[in-house]
Chain A
């Protein structure tokens, strides 16, 4: 079992729809969770981070964390073609004492006009 798992996609949604991206992790003691967006040929760009159970909203983005079920999700409302990118889930596991991130392989999102 991979430490952080994401569906590779591609996930295709129409413009204006809600895109839902999911991520599961294996270390139950994980404390910090991050979502990065990566355009083709570019480096990861931080878009959300969440530490506590529940929802965290920032503009069109909502991160949801459920530690009991060991999953974290990212919702993108009113999806735009410019949201088309690979979304990386990253986790800081408890066993690690130094803050390194474990990444999933990423989910490719395509927003169709």
Chain B
């Protein structure tokens, strides 16, 4: 079946611009996670949803980062007033439920110039 999809795959933004990153989870997966991966490092947790409820946003680095999943399926990660330090790969993962295995999408590589 179809895996997790993310769009866009690549995004170049000028410093100060707002960006929106989309994630389509595996059909039927109730849990959705966002991670940030810097070059040479493992992914770092940002936030997660159980259906439409955002249960943990402790990993969001600043109040410029905002995520939503209004209908419990597609999720959007929004970054306002992008900074150079926001440049990274943003990974979305979905899971059949909490504590189960997570399946990652291809990621969005964000470059802030």
Contacts and interface: CB of A to CB of B under 8 A. Distances in A.
Given A44-B91, A98-B55, A99-B48, A32 B107 contact: no
Interface residues of B, number: 28
B95 interface: yes
Nearest to A49: B101
Interface string B22-43: 0000000001010100001111
Interface string A82-100: 0000001010100010111
B56 A100 contact: yes
B66 interface: no
B103 A105 contact: no
Interface residues on A, range: 20 to 34
A103 B33 contact: no
Interface in A19-46: 31-32, 34, 36, 42-46
Contact of A44 (B43, B44, B45, B100): B43
A85 to B, nearest CB: 13
A46 to B, nearest CB: 6
Nearest to A8: B40
B8 to A, nearest CB: 14
A32 B96 CA distance: 15
Given A32-B99, A43-B107, A44-B104, A103 B42 contact: yes
Interface of B: 31, 33, 35, 40-45, 48, 50, 55-56, 59, 89, 91, 95, 97-107
25 contacts: A31-B99, A32-B99, A36-B104, A42-B106, A43-B91, A43-B105, A43-B107, A44-B43, A44-B91, A46-B103, A49-B101, A88-B42, A92-B99, A96-B56, A98-B50, A99-B31, A99-B48, A99-B95, A100-B33, A100-B45, A100-B48, A100-B59, A103-B43, A104-B42, A105-B42
Interface of A: 4, 31-32, 34, 36, 42-46, 49, 88, 90, 92, 96, 98-106
